Structure 1
């Protein structure tokens, strides 16, 4: 088990690379068995309870929660902690409020080679924002962040979710997985999504120099 360093009221776990992001999943946090069934509206769990869906009626992947136990899985995010950080605009590393001013919230965004006009406006973010201190540390500690990501400030709104998208398995009641997709709330396919990560759409983007 990693040893937590308590700052204020939030523990920050440390791994071999330094502080472990709040949203990171740990090896002891397992995907829990949850048989899917098909309904008239989309998909559901056979033993579904009220905690399986959020206020948007999204069905969420079941994952146990025991942060700090086992090894940190830096490339994976825990669905519940990711969702909390995105809804409340919390720093993905320390879980404190992300840096925000009149230009918007601070994000690190992948520098995409095939940009569209106005990029990164309308970008769908699954990585939560950051506070200024953690953004600077992340860029220094991770060469790929420094090389492949840009710092921006942007306003945003919760737009949908990313996860496993299913289709009808009729005449059976077992839906068929079609792949991993991002689906917007206004898309009727959202009822066929087993959500892993909440998305926010960026608006009014401004580039930021983290060293300024």
Structure 2
């Protein structure tokens, strides 16, 4: 019997690596008009299409691919944004996300509290989609999915919703300082439509709202694809 390789042998493209460090505090400043955040040496790639500033983080790469020991549970801001924006597989990135008439493929786990009756319609996710092959690997080997149970869903309309990150305000020295929030509020996404807080937000993950959702039988889809 051939056992599957451990998940550690398959490090998703979006996973942060040791040696990759944030480049934030010393470079953050206030816009000249005082109306939000900026980088003191800001470039055109530091903001997304909605004008939100993104966290900088170094990258360790060899021939274009991330290298170094994985920091499981953490994602690299730029690589998460890249895959979520382009709807490419978060594991291998060389493949676009699997797409059928039912929509793009995402993996999720059911909420720990009471599941809303229409779940997963309208669910917010910052987990990028996957190609079919990598989804098969993930459900077989990813410890988080094995523990909590993977639900394969397809979304016809994975609309851009907003970002997860850190909200800032003006400190006593007229420099930006993070707003202290509760643990429950740390991962609450900021919707792009929030024009008041958007200029003061430093994004680290892109969030999509999944609409036109259906739960699918991943094993059946994989078996059909392999025929």
Q: TM-score range by the shorter chain?
A: 0.7 to 0.9
Q: Aligned Cα RMSD in Å? A: 2.0
Q: Give the equivalent residue in structure 1 for 2:224.
A: none
C-alpha displacement of 1:77: 1.0
Structure with greater strand percent: 1
Q: Give the equivalent residue in structure 2 for 1:6.
A: none
Q: Give the equivalent residue in structure 2 for 1:100.
A: 99
C-alpha displacement of 1:64: 1.0
Q: Give the equivalent residue in structure 2 for 1:157.
A: 159
SS of 1:195's partner is strand
Looking at structure 2, the residues matched to 150 and 87 of structure 1 have their Cα atoms a distance apart, in angstroms, of: 22
Aligned length: 198
Contact preservation (8 Å) 1:122, 1:203:
yes
Contact preservation (8 Å) 2:7, 2:141:
no
Cα separation, partners in 2 of 1:15 and 1:23, compared to 1, 3 Å? farther
C-alpha displacement of 1:157: 0.9
Q: Give the equivalent residue in structure 2 for 1:194.
A: 202
Q: Give the equivalent residue in structure 1 for 2:127.
A: 127
Contact preservation (8 Å) 2:140, 2:146:
yes
Q: Give the equivalent residue in structure 2 for 1:31.
A: 22
TM-score by length of 2: 0.80
Q: Aligned to 1:55, which of 38, 49, 53?
A: 49
Structure with greater helix percent: 2
- Structure 1, unaligned runs of 5 or more: 1-13
C-alpha displacement of 1:60: 0.7
Q: Give the equivalent residue in structure 2 for 1:88.
A: 86
SS of 1:17's partner is helix
Q: Aligned to 1:21, which of 12, 24, 27?
A: 12
Contact preservation (8 Å) 1:15, 1:72:
no
Contact preservation (8 Å) 1:28, 1:69:
no
Contact preservation (8 Å) 2:161, 2:209:
yes
Looking at structure 2, the residues matched to 137 and 15 of structure 1 have their Cα atoms a distance apart, in angstroms, of: 10
Q: Aligned to 2:68, which of 70, 76, 92?
A: 70
Contact preservation (8 Å) 1:23, 1:82:
yes
- Structure 2, unaligned runs of 5 or more: 221-227
Q: Give the equivalent residue in structure 2 for 1:3.
A: none
TM-score by length of 1: 0.85
